[in-house]
Structure 1
Amino acid sequence: MKEVAVYPENIEDCYKVIDHVSIERDHYKVLYEQLQRHRYGQRSEKLSKDQLALFSELLGEDAEKEPQEETVTVPSHQRVRPKRKPLPEHLPRERVEHDLADEEKICACGCTLQRIGEEITEKLEAIPTQFKVIQHVRFKYGCKACETGVKIPSLPPMLIPKSIVTPSLLAMIVSDKFESHLPLHRQTQRFEALGIDLPRNTMANWVIVIGMFCESLLELMKQDMLQAKLIHADESPLRVLSEGKQKSYLWYYYGRVAESQICCIDFQASRHSIHPANFLKDYSDYMMTDAYSGYGELVRKKDVIPTYCWAHARRKFEAIPQPKKAVKKSHWRWKCLTLLAPCIK
């Protein structure tokens, strides 16, 4: 059944309807402009000169004034060929000398040419990764007379006992995984191409062990970071290949003590507020975060003073539509009354 439209019966009710429709129109217009800016607007957060001069009026009469437009004549110039940067000085150099043959050292006048200098051309040589096997040979000693037993020297301390890994190999695997983002299964394929059998699960166990060794180092870094006057905190999602869990989080904490910059990363399986509260439970000073409510439990401590990020606040101002010329309200009212006049009883 079709609904029957109800129209206002007096001018005052018409004004209320017009005001309500005008407010709704402005609201949806703002949403439309925000969607347009989000879809087609500028994504870069680079500050413009107008935004940098936002508070210039508060600086007094000596504030920098807007530059006047003027014509600048650009003289003609010659294009300069870009110069190649020199190779790093710390790389070892191998000198390969090229000399003239003896018969070429005779001048046309019959005199012998004298060396007056040299010209050096440097080329970058790559040496493929080399692997070698270190054999720890221990000599056995025993008494043939009484045959009481065998003596053998003990092995030097090993990073992971009963394992074939050395510190250099372990550093290579960990660096490739976390710094170069090379997964362990791809490292396994690389070793297989070199004829070396290193299963993925074996390397994963090595990474777990070295992570346990680094826990004490992380704790020392954390204790130093807690001495900072200001700590920046943020969290970033991370996908983990495990059953039943698709996304975890890395919690970043950054502080500066004297000339040292310390960054601690805490891996957690969720974005719960208990994680930063536990990690920084002994901290009492300034803390800079975004407006995420997960830091609320930590900020509610009386000893922690929150300082919020201006970059996040600026985004809210950027989302505000640009002001346009205002239309007189009476004009819209008169136009709507003209349309609604036949409907008024």
Structure 2
Amino acid sequence: MSSVFSPPSIDQQRYAEVCADNARLRAERDALKQQLDWFQRQLFGRKSEKRLIDNPDQLDLGKLLGDAAPPAEPPATEQISYTRRKGKQRRDEDVTDSGLRFDERVPIESIELSAPQLQGPDADQFEIIDYKVTRRLAQRPGSYVVLEYRRPVIRDKRRSSLMEVPAPSAVFDNSLADVSLLAGLLADKFLYHLPLYRQHQRMGDAGITLSRSTLTNYAQRAIALLRPIHDAQWQHILQSRVLAMDETPIKAGKSGKGKLKKRWYWPVYGEDDEICFSFSYSRGQVHVVQQLGEFSGILLSDGYVAYDAYAKQRPVTQAQCWAHTRRYFERALDSEPVAAGEALALIGGLYQIEAQIRERELTGQAKLDSRRDQSLPIVDGFFAWCHQQRQRTDLVNSAPLAKALLYAQNHDAQLRVYLSDPAVPIDTNHLERALRVIPMGRKNWLFCWSEVGAEQVGIIQSLLTTCRLQDVDPYAYLVDVLQRIAQHPAREVEQLTPRCWKTLYAGNPLRSDLEYAR
């Protein structure tokens, strides 16, 4: 008896289409829910990546917004009244011919300069008949002071001629700015993220009348002086055997009315605790090639394809960051709490071993042996677990756990590099901590008006961040280097990088005249 094929009915076809649409919409809903959860964590959640285990008292966002306990009664307060002296008008006589304007609220520190003619065997042939005054604006942390140099005007009795003691040299010729002011401007903006317009407001509140464009000009000229030091530090970083590299966005340059272009910083961390922020117009591989050039060694990074492509073209060993791998599994906790928790526990074991290595201060072969004996079995077990999980038939490719498993297995070899070299860190967290100055800047001074300004930000941040890494006082470093660079041999500019400066000059640095006027 022959069988006759019967095509599916219209209702069956429609049912199959509805089921397919339903599955697609469910996947889209789950993806959007994961994005919403991520954004809520960025706004309201904790920023630490430490895993909280067995903490039933932790409150979620719904409890905080809906079921929160009523607020406690505010503490008792008392009203205090006081009187304040009315501010005085600026004195016209304090508008000097040099352009420095200030009022009576600004303290004046006088520095008496000695005349060499008044010393020695012919001292009686000279006499002081008057003083000339040169004023410069200086800065103490959180306050401003006017340095007043009283320069003797001397008459030579023998020749009936007049002469005067020259003013001390400044960082910039004919400038109103003392080196302490230049160092303070740079430190306040790039270390403490205080934009220049706020510093300008603070000067106005302190009684100083100075245009904002003048502050911008001071900052730009000072950074231009520091560029050779930055370049020397960059060349030393490229000599490292192990480099860590990452990228972070910045808005720089106008692309239209009310719009700014998206640009990039590429921080590179050397093995001697130095960092440089190179500026780029794009996030493409070409910048990695241009900056690293002929580098041959170990490049530690995340899984961005630009680093993979560069490593394949050069004799470079690429190492991957375990923290980035861990974040993929952390994002899968909501949809796969059991499986993702197992992965996080395995990776946590690796970090516990690294913590023990730091506590025991192991280096070299001892550190390598500890990783080989303790970490290697965990890594082998982790990737075996990943392979087992990928065999699950219920795990769709769009699921967060599937993406995490694929990312980990694609970078199996790169994630194992740190096991065979004690100089390679397990992650790029040390680099991410150092590059926080850029996101902090985005939240305060927000953007750069031009690409040239963004490049200058990278120069000064490279030096100041390295000062922090080298345990060098950034303010003292700037005060010394801005004065020293004019007389320092160009061929020895590397001595002025924070790493070398700490050894050569930190014990007896050049200081501002403000220090001697106290």
State whether structure 2 residue 229 is matched by structure 1 residue 217. Answer: yes
- List per-residue Cα deviations over 1:270-297 (Å, max 9, x = no partner): 3343333222214211112223334456
2:270 to 255, 276, 283: 255
* Aligned mates of 1:129, 1:322 — CA distance in 2: 52
**Residue matched to 1:134:** 147
Deviation at 1:207, TM superposition (A): 0.6
2:279 to 252, 256, 267: 267
CA distance in 2, matches of 1:251, 1:316: 23
Of 32, 36, 47, which aligns to 2:33?
Answer: 36
Structure-1 separation of matches of 2:207 and 2:250: 33
Question: Aligned in 2, Cα 1:212/1:296: closer, same or farther, shift over 3 Å?
Answer: farther
Measured in 1, the distance between the counterparts of 2:37 and 2:192 equals 34
The residue that corresponds to 2:336 in the other structure is 322
For residue 188 of structure 1, report the CA deviation from its aligned partner: 1.0
Q: What pairs with 1:16-31 in structure 2 (closer than 5 Å)?
A: 29-31=26-28
- How far apart, in 2, do the equivalents of 1:232 and 1:307 lie? 9
For residues 319 and 275 of structure 2, the distance between their equivalents in structure 1, rounded to whole angstroms, comes to: 19
CA distance in 1, matches of 2:236, 2:145: 40
Give the direction of change, closer, same or farther, for the CA distance of 1:22–1:220 in structure 2 (3 Å limit): same
User: Does the residue aligned with 1:159 lie in a helix, a strand or coil?
Assistant: coil
Provide, for residues 52-93 of structure 1, a one-character-per-residue CA deviation record: whole Å limited to 9, x for no partner: xxxxxxxxxxxxxxxxxxxxxxxxxxxxxxxxxxxxxxxxxx
Residues 142 and 150 of structure 1 are in contact (CA less than 8 Å); yes or no, is this contact kept in structure 2?
yes
1:194 to 203, 206, 212: 206
Q: Classify the secondary structure of the residue corresponding to 2:182.
A: helix
Which amino acid is 1:38 matched to? Q
Q: Distance in 1 between matches of 2:291 and 2:301?
A: 15
Unaligned runs of 5+ in 1: 1-7, 51-126, 328-345
**Counterpart-to-counterpart distance in 1, 2:286 and 2:216:** 29
Q: Secondary structure, in 3 states, of the residue corresponding to 1:227?
A: coil
**Is 2:308 the partner of 1:301?**
no
Matched, 1:291 2:275: no
Give the whole-Å Cα distance in 1 for the aligned partners of 2:309 and 2:163: 62
Q: Write 1 or 2 for the structure with the bigger share of helix.
A: 2
The corresponding residue for 2:355 is none
Q: Provide the C-alpha distance between the structure 2 equivalents of 1:316 and 1:17, rounded to a whole number of angstroms.
A: 38
Which of 227, 232, 236 aligns to 2:239? It is 227
Which amino acid in the other structure matches residue 134 of structure 1?
Answer: L
How many angstroms does 1:33 deviate by?
3.1
Which amino acid letter does the alignment assign opposite residue 33 of structure 2? Q
Q: In the aligned structure 1, how far is the partner of 2:219 from the partner of 2:243?
A: 29
Give 3-state SS (helix, strand or coil) of 1:186's partner: helix
CA deviations on 1:28-59 (whole Å, 9 max, x unpaired) are 54444343333347957444779xxxxxxxxx
Q: 1:33 to 1:150 in 2, by over 3 A?
A: same
The higher relative CO (CA closer than 8 Å, separation ≥ 6) is in 2
Q: How many aligned positions are there?
A: 240
Shift of 1:24: 7.3
* SS of match in other structure, 1:164: coil
Q: Give the direction of change, closer, same or farther, for the CA distance of 1:268–1:128 in structure 2 (3 Å limit).
A: closer
User: Displacement of 1:253 after TM fit?
Assistant: 1.1
Determine the structure 1 residue equivalent to 2:196: 184
Task: Tell me if the contact between 1:34 and 1:319 (Cα under 8 Å) persists in the aligned partners.
Answer: no
Normalised to the residue count of structure 1, the TM-score between the two structures is: 0.56
Deviation at 1:10, TM superposition (A): 4.6
After superposition, the CA RMSD in angstroms is 4.2
Q: Quick one: structure 1 residues 33 and 131, their matched pair in 2 at CA, closer, same or farther if it must change by over 3 Å?
A: closer
Q: Which amino acid aligns with 1:175?
A: A
One-letter code aligned to 2:264? Y
Are the aligned partners of 1:255 and 1:262 in contact in 2 as well (CA < 8 Å)? yes
Return the letter of the residue paired with 1:131. Answer: Y
| TM-score between both structures, scaled by the size of structure 2 | 0.39
Query: Does residue 280 in structure 1 map to residue 286 in structure 2?
Result: no
Q: Which residue of 1 aligns with 2:180?
A: 168
> Residue 202 of structure 1: CA displacement?
0.5
Moved more, 285-294 or 200-209: 285-294
Q: Which stretch shows the higher mean deviation, 40-49 or 298-307?
A: 40-49
Q: Which amino acid aligns with 1:221?
A: Q
16-25 or 305-314: bigger deviation: 16-25
1:205 CA displacement: 0.8
Are the equivalent residues in 1 in contact too, given 2:308–2:318 (CA < 8 A)?
no
What is the SS of the residue equivalent to 1:291?
Answer: coil
Deviations 1:210-241 (A, max 9, x none): 11122122122222322322211111112236
Aligned ranges 1:52-91 → 2 under 5 Å: none
Letter in 1 for 2:234: K
**Which of these two proteins has the greater Rg computed from alpha carbons?**
1
CA shift for structure 1 position 150? 5.5
CA contact (8 A) 2:265 2:278 kept: yes
Tell me the alpha carbon deviations over residues 176-231 of structure 1, each in whole angstroms, 9 at most, x when there is no partner: 11122111111111111111012111011111111112212212222232232221
C-alpha distance in 2 between matches for 1:28 and 1:150? 92
Question: 1:277 touches 1:295 (CA, 8 Å); kept in 2?
Answer: no
Q: Please, which runs of 5 or more residues in structure 2 have no aligned partner?
A: 55-139, 339-391, 395-518
- Listed as ranges, the matches of 1:228-247 within 5 Å are 228-240=240-252, 242=254, 244=256, 245-247=260-262
Between 1:41-50 and 1:279-288, the stretch displaced more is 41-50
